[in-house]
Amino acid sequence: MNKRVCLSLLFSILALLGYSQQVTGGDESMPVMSSHDTIDYAKLCAHYKIWAVRDASADEKKYRTHEMILQIGEKVSKFCDYLCFQNDSATFSEMKSGLNKMVIFANQMSRARIAKRYYYEQVFKNFPEGNNTVLDNIVIKTYKYNEEMPNMNWTIVSENTDTILGYVCGKATCEFRGRTYTAWYAPDIPVDDGPWKFHGLPGLILKVREMAKDYYWLCTALYQPTWKSPISIKTEVKKTTYIKYHKAKKRAEEDPNALHANDPNAKIRTSNGEWVLASELNKGKYRPPYTPKELDW
Amino acid sequence: MRFCLLFLCCFYSIQILPQAVVSGRVSDAETKEALDKAIVKVMNDKKQLIAYTTTDKDGDYSVKIKSSLPEVFLSVHYLGYKTVELKIANRTLRKDFVLQPEAVKLKEVHVKPRVIEKTGDTLSYNVTSFKMQQDRSIADVLRKMPGISVSENGGVKYMGKPINKFYIEGLDLLGKKYGLATTSVPADAVSTVQVLEGHQPIKALGKYNTTGQSALNLVLKEKKRIRPIGYVEGGLGGMKDQLLWKADLFGLSVAPKKQALFSYKGNNVGHTFAELEAGEAIAMDDVSVGLPTAPSNLFSGIILRMLPVEPERYVSNTSHLFNYNQLWGKSAVQWRASGSFLNEKNKQEMHTSQDYFLPGNEHYLSMEDNASGIRRNKLSMVVEAESNKEKLYVDNKMEAYADWQYHDYQLVTNDVSRNQHLRMPTLAVQNNLKVIKKVERNTLNFHSYVRYLNQPQQMKVQSADAESIGLLSQKAERGTLYTQHGGSYSYSYRKSSFALGALLKAVVDGYQSENNSVTMEEAGYGVKNDLNNHNYVFSLSPQYTYNDKAHRVFVRLGVPFSYHVYDVDYKTKDDKRMDFWNVEPDFLFRYDVTDDWKASLNYSHKRQLGDVLDFADVPVMQNYQYVGVGSGILERRNSDTYTMRLTYRNDIDALFFNLSATYREMDVNVVSGTAFADDYILNYTAPFSNERKQKIVHASLSKFVDALRSSVGVSGSYTNSTLSRFQQGQLFPWDTDSYQYQMNFDSKVASWLNVNGKLNYLTTWYDDGRNEERNSRHLAGIMGIYVIPVPKFFFSLSGEYSWNKTEGTDADRCFFLDAKVNYKSKLWDLEVVWQNFLNKDMYENVSFGNLSSTSVSFPLRKSNIVASVRFNF
C-alpha cells in the first residue's frame, strides 16, 4: 500500500516538474493533437443515433449505441461520433485560445477517458470530389481509404409513410454491398445526404433500418449552425484500401493476439502483477464475429 | 387467367412507355456558379414522384422520364435557394435552372433525449422529462412513468408485476424495504430510472428469470455520487386543539463498493409507517420456494378500516421510524446489514353498525362504539452476506425481529360497555442459506431455511364498570420451529433443461391457551388447550424447461408431488394423525411475438392447506366477541388457475399496454360459517364441499404524450367470484360481480401550470340468493392544480371527491379541499400545507361484506395547517 502511495507521489512530483519545465518554454514540438485540415464548414447538422450489433451470432441480438453527427457543408459532409467531435472541438478552441500545450495535453488526457466509447469510423462524402474518404482506427493507428462515391440504387416505396422529427418522410429500399436497407427520407429537406455512406434520395435520410437488424440509424436532432462549424479531417493517417481495411479490421476484432504474431515471446503484465505471454492473454476468450456493414470484400 | 392477362398488359405497357430525357444545368442566379448536388424531381399531375436525380459537380443533370403523361412537373430543390417548379412537355429536352438564394429556416429539432431509451433489455426513463415542479421524491416521478405503478408505500410494479430487485447504482442496498428509497430519495438526485426487463439477479442462473419480472435501478446524477445526499426536515402546525409536527432526516451515501442509508421519519400528521417498515413482497424464481409468510397474531384486533379516501384524512397517529442500512463490497462478497425501529401509536374512534343477514329474512344487528389506542414497537435486524459469481452463488441472510403490539379498546356493543386489552408480542429469528453451483451444463442448488417463532399473547376483557373486574381473560402461546432444507440438480442440453428437486420440511408447533370464559365452558367448548403438532413434508419436483431464444419461446412444465404428515399430540384428549399426497402440476408457456408484444399462458394446480389449529379442533377466543373453532379436519383448497397475459410496450411511443385474464376454480373441503349466540359470535368451518369460482380480467394502458407533456393512464378490470358460506346454520351462496375503471393524468399544461387528476369508479353487484341483486357504487376523484408564477415557487389547490351509494341507503358524498404553497431553492425547501380547509369532520360509509352490510361513521382529521422547512444537502 505504502509503496503504491510513494509511487503515486513520485509520479505527481514528476508531472509537476514536467509542467514547470513547459512553463519555462520546454519542448515546443510535443504533439498535442494530430494535425487536422479544415475542408469545409457545416451549413446543416443532423444528429443520429446508431444501434450496432455486438454479436450477430447471438440468439438475442444486443446493441451498442452511439450518438453520431452528420455535418453537411457546401461540398463535403462528415459523419462521425459526436463525443469524438466534441472532444476535437474542445481541443480546437483550447488551441485557438493560446492555452499552454501541456495543459491542452492534460485536458485531452482527461477527455480520453471517454475515448474508449468512440465509434471511430468517420465517413467524408464528396471528399475528394466524387469520392468518399473513410477513416477508422485499427488497434492504435488511424487508417484511411478512398473510394468512388458508390451508386445506391434506391427503389422508392412510398412518399408519405412516417413522420420523423416532425418531417413527413418517404420510404425507399436498396441493396448495398450485401445488405438490404430501408431508408426514410424527408423531401422537405432538399439535401442529398444521410448517415454513414447513405445518399442518393431526394431529401435528407433520417432513418435507416438494416434488414438483418444488425444496424439501425435514427435522426435525433437537426439544426442549422449559426456559428462557424468547421468540417475537419485528420491528416496523420495511414493510407490503405477498402479490401485491406476490412481484412485488417476483421483480424483485429476477432483475434487481437494475431497482432503479436511477429513477436511470439512478447509479454504483458496483468492487473495481478504477473507477466504472461501476450499470445496467451486472451486465448480461449470468446470474441464475437466481425460484423461489418459491407460484405463485398 | 386474369393474372396472366394483367401480367401481359403490364409487360405490354412497359414496352410502349415512352422514355424522355430531360437534362440541363442548375446554377446560382447571383454568382452564376454551378450548384452541385441540387435535387431535381419529376412529378406527375398529382405531384407524385416519377423520377429524380441530383446535379453533378458542374451542376449538370439528366433525368429519364418513364411516363405516358403528355406533361410533367419538373422541380429543382437546393438548401438555401428558392425551389423552382415548372410544367414541361414529356419529351426529350434541355432545361436550365437559375436558382435564387433564399434564407431558408428549417424546422429545427434540437437535441432532446427521448423520454424512454431502450438498450437491449434495459429501458431508461429520463427523469427530467417526467419530473414536475411539485415532485419531491423519486416515487412522485415514478408514478408518472408509463408502464410503472407505485403504491402509497413506494412498492413498484412494472407492467402489473411487482419488481424482483431494487438497485441504487446497481447495488441492492435495501432488499424488500426499498420503499424507504422510493419515498425518500429526492427526485432531483436521480438522472435515470432503468427498468431491467426479465432480470435475473443470480448470475449463476443465467441472465433472465422465468417469471418475467423486472428490476429497477436508480442512476444518480454524477454530482450526487461524489458525496452523501439527503435532507433534514422539520415542520410544525396545528389542528384546532392539537399541535402537529413532523420531522424527517434522510441520508444516502453511494460509492462504488459501499452504500449507506440512514433515515428517521416521525410525525403526527397521518403518515403511518408500519407498511413501509414491513417492506414489499420480492418474489424471486430461485431456491426460496414456499417459504412461510409472516405470522399472524393469535387474537384479532378491531383494525382500522381502510376508507376509500386518502389515509391522511382519518388516521390519528404518532409515528417514528428509524432505519439504517449499510452495504460493503461488490465483487467477491457483499455484506449487508440493516436495523430498524418502529414506534407507532394510532388512535381511532368509530361507530359501526353491522347487519348480518340470517335465514328467513331475519337480521342480527350489532351496534358498536369503539375508541381505541393501538401501540406498536418493532425492532428488526438483518445481516446478509452474498457472493454472486457466474459459477457460484452463496447467500446467507440472518434476520431477527421483535414486534410488540398492544391494543386497548373501549367498546360499547349493543349497550354493553367493555374494555378490551390485547398484548400481542411476536419474536422471531430466522436464517436462510442459498448455494447455487454451476458446472458447465449442470446446476446444483441447495437451500436451508430455519425459523423460530414465539408468540406469548394475552387478552383481557373487563367490564367498563370498575367494580366488576376480570370479566374475561385468555392467554395463548404459540411456538413454532420451522425448518426447510432442499436441493435440486438441473442439466441443460441445448435448449432444454431438466431439473429434479427434493425438499424436506419439518415443523414443530406448540400451542397452549387457557381462558376463564364461563360462557364457553357452558357451551361445551372448553377453556384450555394444550397441544403439540408435528408436520413433515417430503417433496420431489421434476421440472422440464424449454427455452428457444431464436424463436422466443419458453415452456416450463413442473410436476411436484409431496407427502404430508400431520401428527397432533393433545394433552387433554386423544391424539390425531393424518397423512396424504399432493400433486401440484404447473405449466407455463411464454411467447415473445415481437420485441414489443409478449404473451404468456399459465396453468397451475395448487393444493393449499389451512392452519393446523383448524385441524386441531380447538376453540380460540379471537377477541371479546368472536370465537373461532376448527372443523376438526384440515382445510384443503384445491385450485386450478388459468392465466393469460398479453403485454405490449413501445419505448419510442412511450406506450404500455397490459391485458391479463385469470380464471380460477377452487374446491374447498370446508365451508366457513358464522353463528350468533347471545354473548359471542362463533366463526367456524364445517366439512362441506364448497366450490368457488373467480374470473378476473384486467386491462391497463399508459402513455406519455410528449407533445402535450402529459402522462395518461387508463385501466379497467372485471372480477366475478362465487362461493358459499353458512350463516346461522343455513348455506347461502355469495356471488359478486364488480367492475372497476380508473383513469389518471399528469400534465404540464404550460410552463406556469401543472394539472393532475385521478378517477376511480367501482360498481359491485352482490347476490346472496335471498333477494334480488344488490348493488353498491363508489366514485372517487382527485384533482390538483399547481400554479408556478415564478420558477422555484408554486401554489396548489387540490380537491378530493368521494361518492358512495349502496342500494337501500342514501348516497354518501364527501368533498375535501387542500392548499399548498412551496418555495424551493437549491438548498432550502419551504412548504405550507393547509389540509381539509372545508373542515369536513365525519365520514360515513355503507358497504357489503360476507353476508352482511356494514355502516361505519368515522371522525376525520379536522382542518389543519402544517409549515415545514427542509434543508437539502
Give the tens place of pLDDT for each residue, B829-873: 999 999 998 888 888 888 887 788 888 888 888 999 999 999 998
For B55, the closest chain A residue by CA position comes to A192
Please name the member of A191, A203, A223 whose beta carbon is closest to the beta carbon of B110: A223
| Lowest pLDDT segment from A182-196, B43-57, B253-267 | B43-57
CB contact under 8 A, A190 and B550: no
**What mean pLDDT comes out for the span B385-402?**
93
B35 near B28, Cβ under 8 Å? yes
| Lowest pLDDT segment from B463-477, B551-565, B725-739 | B463-477
The per-residue pLDDT for A16 is 37
**Do A97 and A197 share a structural domain?**
yes
Please name the member of A75, A126, A202 whose beta carbon is closest to the beta carbon of B41: A202
Is residue B583 very low, low, confident or very high in pLDDT (cuts 50, 70, 90)?
very high
Q: How many contacts, defined by CB atoms under 8 Å, are there between A and B?
A: 64
Please report whether residue A26 resides in a domain. Answer: no
**The pLDDT of residue B146 is above 90:** yes
CATH code (residue A121): 2.50.20.10
**Do A238 and A165 share a structural domain?**
yes
B484 near B504, Cβ under 8 Å? yes
Closest CA to B293 of B276, B277, B281, B275: B281
Name the phi and psi angles at A246, rounded to 5: -65, -40
B502 near B540, Cβ under 8 Å? yes
Residues 6+ apart with CB under 8 A from B690: B667, B668, B669, B670, B671, B723, B724
Contacts of B106 in chain A (CB under 8 A): 44, 189, 222-224
Please report whether residue B522 resides in a domain. Answer: yes
**The pLDDT of residue A1 is above 70:** no
CB contact under 8 A, B54 and A130: no
**Do A179 and A102 share a structural domain?**
yes
What is the percent of chain B with per-residue pLDDT over 70, rounded to a whole number?
93
Please report whether residue B466 resides in a domain. Answer: yes
Helix residue spans in B580-645 (DSSP H)? 612-616
**Do A192 and A274 share a structural domain?**
no
Contacts of B109 in chain A (CB under 8 A): 165-166, 221-223
Is residue B505 very low, low, confident or very high in pLDDT (cuts 50, 70, 90)?
very high
Most A CBs within 10 Å, among B79, B83, B117, to test the A interface: B79
**The pLDDT of residue B647 is above 50:** yes
Query: Of B33, B68, B99, which marks where a domain is finished?
Result: B99
What is residue B746's three-state secondary structure? Answer: strand
The per-residue pLDDT for B287 is 46
The per-residue pLDDT for B10 is 46
**The pLDDT of residue B826 is above 80:** yes
Is residue A130 very low, low, confident or very high in pLDDT (cuts 50, 70, 90)?
confident
Can you give the residue range of the structural domain that contains A277? Answer: 256-287
Q: What is the SS3 assignment for B660-687?
A: EEEEEEEEEEEEEEEEECCCCEEEEEEE
Question: What is the Cα–Cα distance from B84 to B25, expressed in whole angstroms?
Answer: 13
Most B CBs within 10 Å, among A45, A51, A57, A59, to test the B interface: A59
Note the pLDDT tens digit of each residue in B397-442: 999 999 999 999 998 888 888 889 999 999 999 999 999 999 988 9
Residues in chain A, overall count: 297
**Do A266 and A141 share a structural domain?**
no
**Do A233 and A157 share a structural domain?**
yes
Is residue A25 very low, low, confident or very high in pLDDT (cuts 50, 70, 90)?
very low
The per-residue pLDDT for A7 is 44
Is residue B15 very low, low, confident or very high in pLDDT (cuts 50, 70, 90)?
very low
Question: What is the Cα–Cα distance from A129 to B171, expressed in whole angstroms?
Answer: 54
Rounded to the nearest angstrom, the minimum Cα separation between A293 and chain B is 20
Cell of B139: 416515487
**What mean pLDDT comes out for the span B490-510?**
92
**The pLDDT of residue B612 is above 80:** no
- Give the count of beta carbons closer than 10 Å to the beta carbon of residue A15: 12
What is the number of structural domains in chain B? 2
Is the ipTM higher than 0.90? The answer is no
CB contact under 8 A, A43 and B79: yes
**What mean pLDDT comes out for the span A142-162?**
87
Residues 6+ apart with CB under 8 A from B39: A190, A191, A192, A202, A203, B52, B53, B54, B76, B77, B78
The per-residue pLDDT for B780 is 92
The per-residue pLDDT for B574 is 81
- Taking each helix axis as running N to C, give the angle between helix A101-111 and helix A82-96, from 0 to 180 degrees, rounded to the nearest 10: 170
Note the pLDDT tens digit of each residue in A67-76: 899 999 988 9
Please report whether residue B9 resides in a domain. Answer: no
B755 near B784, Cβ under 8 Å? yes
The per-residue pLDDT for A21 is 31
Note the pLDDT tens digit of each residue in A225-244: 888 888 988 888 899 999 99
Q: What's the longest Cα–Cα distance across chain B?
A: 120
Contacts of B110 in chain A (CB under 8 A): 221, 223
Please name the member of A63, A167, A224 whose beta carbon is closest to the beta carbon of B119: A63
Closest CA to B178 of B207, B148, B217, B144: B217
| Lowest pLDDT segment from B296-305, B402-411, B498-507, B672-681 | B296-305
Please name the member of B48, B79, B108 whose beta carbon is closest to the beta carbon of A191: B79
**What mean pLDDT comes out for the span B379-399?**
93
**Do A102 and A156 share a structural domain?**
yes
Please report, as a single letter, which amino acid is at residue B146: P
Q: Bigger pLDDT: A192 or A109?
A: A192
| Lowest pLDDT segment from B33-37, B230-234, B521-525 | B521-525
Contacts of B112 in chain A (CB under 8 A): 220-221
Q: Bigger pLDDT: A16 or B800?
A: B800
**What mean pLDDT comes out for the span B772-801?**
91
CB contact under 8 A, B79 and A63: no
Please report whether residue A162 resides in a domain. Answer: yes
A194 near A207, Cβ under 8 Å? no
Please report whether residue B672 resides in a domain. Answer: yes
Please name the member of A63, A170, A221 whose beta carbon is closest to the beta carbon of B109: A221
The per-residue pLDDT for B211 is 76
Is residue A167 very low, low, confident or very high in pLDDT (cuts 50, 70, 90)?
confident
**Do A275 and A131 share a structural domain?**
no
CB contact under 8 A, B108 and A44: no
**Do A175 and A272 share a structural domain?**
no
CA dist B193 → A62, A145, B128, B130 (Å): 20, 42, 10, 11
CATH code (residue B799): 2.40.170
**What mean pLDDT comes out for the span A182-195?**
92
**What mean pLDDT comes out for the span B599-626?**
82
CB contact under 8 A, B49 and A170: yes
**Do A127 and A46 share a structural domain?**
yes
Question: What is the Cα–Cα distance from B618 to B531, expressed in whole angstroms?
Answer: 9
Name the phi and psi angles at A202, rounded to 5: -75, 55
Note the pLDDT tens digit of each residue in B91-133: 888 889 998 888 777 776 654 566 887 777 889 999 988 999 9
Question: What is the Cα–Cα distance from B87 to B694, expressed in whole angstroms?
Answer: 71
The per-residue pLDDT for A18 is 36
The per-residue pLDDT for A11 is 43
What is the number of structural domains in chain A? 2
Interfacial residues of B (vs A; Cβ cutoff 8 Å): 36-39, 41, 48-49, 52, 54, 57, 77-80, 83, 105-112, 114, 119-120, 549-550
CB contact under 8 A, A202 and B39: yes
**The pLDDT of residue B1 is above 50:** no
**The pLDDT of residue A28 is above 50:** no
Please report whether residue A152 resides in a domain. Answer: yes
**Do A242 and A261 share a structural domain?**
no
Contacts of B48 in chain A (CB under 8 A): 159
B121 near B106, Cβ under 8 Å? no
CB contact under 8 A, A170 and B37: no
Please report whether residue B293 resides in a domain. Answer: yes
**What mean pLDDT comes out for the span B731-747?**
91
Contacts of B119 in chain A (CB under 8 A): 63, 65
The per-residue pLDDT for B337 is 96
The per-residue pLDDT for B621 is 80
The per-residue pLDDT for B426 is 95
**The pLDDT of residue B16 is above 70:** no
The per-residue pLDDT for A113 is 54
Please report whether residue A210 resides in a domain. Answer: yes
Query: Of B59, B80, B99, which marks where a domain is finished?
Result: B99
Please name the member of B37, B80, B550 whose beta carbon is closest to the beta carbon of A43: B80
Can you give the residue range of the structural domain that contains B38? Answer: 15-99
Is residue A252 very low, low, confident or very high in pLDDT (cuts 50, 70, 90)?
confident
**The pLDDT of residue B17 is above 60:** no
What is the percent of chain B with per-residue pLDDT over 90, rounded to a whole number?
46
**Do A273 and A204 share a structural domain?**
no
| Lowest pLDDT segment from A11-15, A115-119, B357-361, B759-763 | A11-15
Please name the member of B36, B109, B549 whose beta carbon is closest to the beta carbon of A165: B109
Closest CA to B294 of B174, B455, B414, B438: B455
Please report whether residue B442 resides in a domain. Answer: yes
Contacts of B54 in chain A (CB under 8 A): 192, 200
B55 near B63, Cβ under 8 Å? no
Q: Round the average pLDDT of chain A to a whole number and report it.
A: 78
Question: What is the Cα–Cα distance from A134 to A240, expressed in whole angstroms?
Answer: 10
Name the phi and psi angles at A190, rounded to 5: -75, 70
Please name the member of A159, A200, A223 whose beta carbon is closest to the beta carbon of B49: A159
**What mean pLDDT comes out for the span B555-570?**
91
Question: From the centroid of its chain, how far is CA B329?
Answer: 30
Query: Of B99, B120, B148, which marks where a domain is finished?
Result: B99
Is residue A86 very low, low, confident or very high in pLDDT (cuts 50, 70, 90)?
confident
Most B CBs within 10 Å, among A191, A198, A207, to test the B interface: A191
The per-residue pLDDT for B616 is 66
Please report whether residue B690 resides in a domain. Answer: yes
Rounded to the nearest angstrom, the minimum Cα separation between A187 and chain B is 9
The per-residue pLDDT for A24 is 28
CATH code (residue B77): 2.60.40.10
Highest mean pLDDT among A9-13, A175-179, B209-213, B462-466: A175-179
